Chain A
């Protein structure tokens, strides 16, 4: 499948989210679950979204897929897929997009797969729904897909039911389902969290392999900084429904600008030993619930470097260096960087 009007949208990113706000209605009250988030993904790029639970990572993925729960509403902003605005699409058009132009894999493949259908049929179903090929072509394509995701003995595997497969194999089937109609964008929501370490490594390699062979763009949602370090090209750090930092994976790990990012990096996955008799660095407190998000900087109550200014004023994303943005009044200085906190202060002003 070729993107529509490819010739005149060469520079257009596969996905562009601008100023998106989503609110959740609960008990008659409405709270912002996503607050003015912006994000773009280029062709063949892997963008990681990282943050703790309750930071809005999954909400972002569901908003893109148009799969938010009934009590969630897009209140502002736009989501453009290959240059086409999708927030205003009808449910019917959205259905023709899902699976075909973008698809999603989930944390728990056993929940996402139909337990009563042979796995080969579940892959074929995607092709049938999108009217791709005739029966025999679809069968051939299923065999191809199974081989692509590393399910050896594909003819035999495709006749099995999900319960006959291991967790890793089920996730491979999910990936085959997601890739069946060759979408431009694959959203992976914690795809390896439920898997064992050795299987996780295999699935991460498979996703990297798919990107390089098929040029699929991947939005990778995870809480695991180690996984980010393995697969992402660029990283979006979320906190309390806001994007707090965006950077290339190298810049982010080498020079985190936001104290929250620095805290995540200082956490377990990154540390290899505890100082003798000392403590691991921690982030005090916990992620606020939607009702408790502070008006100023959302991270202020947990921030070790908080100042009076942070309490009442919400910082906007401001450029620290090319392609590296952070929403912090007093971003962490990088080593040997003459930039002062005062300059970013004025840039970030509302």
Chain B
């Protein structure tokens, strides 16, 4: 009953617009997926924050910068990147929890910035968040029965006995015992709380869930349990996930397609096989190279790719490519010219002048750029002996 179609031809328009725009868009990626319905379409999404509220002035932080992407019904879209890359802000913008500075979010054919408050509320039934910290996401003074009944109360769905049955069914779906109903959040472990957060998120049978680092507060053995739960729910309810994470091994397990963000920009979009097979953007290469080996006997064979420096401050004004200050391949062109997101073979997209980048060439370039740094360290250690 919640799966009502809101699309009145807008999906087709969205795809059409994308193909006519100058830069490519993820909607054309991986041919098998284009036939499916585009559930969420983000175009030119930008969010700026003012920091430093003095009279004399303020600085602008561009948290999300001109991000365009499409998420198809039933798929899991992974958004990866490091702290400050704008992935969480993108998640909040997509849920219309914040207003974008510019750009649009179209969900099920409706432009979220144009719908009325009432319409937005109806749409919100279909899109739900799962947050990172299951400790702060649940009201500690409410019993589980109240917490899980709240979505039904807010949207006036199911009353009395029916509502109680719905709540009991939710507990069953996420694998918690019925006697949980009378307890309080503090009586549950982290993994159980995350199950409760998930139960609340699926209460109204949404179509779309934004999960922002839902596993990072949990122990490894519990992470596997929650991953299995998310996969079961997706299969049973046809859910579409936007899965935000910095943990590449988990993204590899869960996501069908992946967007890599750096400094507010989408720098690469690819299918799981494409990205983990051979990343195209130098930053994607570096992210993958940083994933620890899973077999200690392979330590020696590991290819080390050092990035010089760290992520620039968000207030820094960067010209050209956002990654140029750390990229081993950066040249004058990268400082002057912003690389557009362009299509490569197989429907993948990348924002780099030199993409696709060969791994070995990148490692060699990184080595020669870092050589001076290592030389200094060697001299220092020699002197200290």
Contacts and interface: CB of A to CB of B under 8 A. Distances in A.
Interface of A: 52-53, 141, 144, 147-148, 150, 152, 166-169, 196-202, 204-205, 213, 223-230, 232, 249-250, 253-254, 263-264, 266-274, 279-283, 286-287
18 contacts: A52-B219, A150-B377, A196-B82, A197-B248, A197-B290, A199-B82, A201-B304, A213-B381, A225-B220, A225-B294, A226-B294, A253-B296, A267-B223, A268-B220, A268-B223, A269-B292, A274-B253, A286-B221
A287 to B, nearest CB: 7
Interface of B: 82-83, 189, 191, 219-225, 227-228, 231, 246-250, 252-253, 286-287, 289-297, 299, 304, 306-307, 310-311, 373, 376-377, 380-381, 383-384
A286 B219 CA distance: 9
A291 B304 CA distance: 45
Contacts of A52: 219-221
Given A264-B220, A272-B249, A282 B380 contact: no
B377 A148 contact: yes
A148 B382 CA distance: 10
Overall SS of chain A's interface: helix
B224 A229 contact: no
Given A271-B253, A279-B228, A230 B293 contact: yes
Given A268-B227, A274-B253, A282-B228, A229 B292 contact: yes
Contacts of A169: 310
A287 B290 contact: no
A267 B220 contact: yes
Contacts of A226: 249, 291-294
Contact of A229 (B227, B252, B295): B295
A258 to B, nearest CB: 14
Contacts of A263: 221
Contacts, number: 132
Given A147-B380, A272-B249, 17 more contacts: A52-B219, A53-B219, A167-B83, A196-B246, A197-B248, A198-B286, A225-B220, A227-B292, A230-B299, A232-B296, A264-B221, A270-B294, A274-B227, A279-B231, A282-B224, A286-B191, A286-B222
B221 A267 contact: yes
B228 A280 contact: yes
Contacts of A286: 189, 191, 219, 221-222
A269 B220 contact: yes
Nearest to A169: B310
A281 B227 CA distance: 10
Interface core residue of A201, A286, A287 (most chain B CB under 10 Å): A201
Given A148-B377, A169-B310, A281-B224, A196 B296 contact: no
Contacts of B223: 267-268
Given A196-B83, A229-B292, A229-B296, A269 B310 contact: no
Contacts of A197: 82, 246-248, 287, 290-291
Contacts of A229: 292-296, 299
A212 B306 CA distance: 19
Contacts of A224: 220, 292
B376 A152 contact: yes
A23 B54 CA distance: 53
Contacts of A282: 221, 224-225, 228
Contact of B297 (A141, A166, A225, A250): A250
A322 B186 CA distance: 45
Contacts of A167: 83
A230 B296 CA distance: 6
A135 to B, nearest CB: 18
A148 B381 contact: yes
B380 A273 contact: no
Contacts of A147: 376-377, 380
A277 to B, nearest CB: 8
B377 A268 contact: no
Top 4 closest pairs, chain A to chain B, by CB: A226-B292, A147-B380, A196-B82, A283-B221
A199 B253 contact: no
Contact of A152 (B225, B296, B373): B373
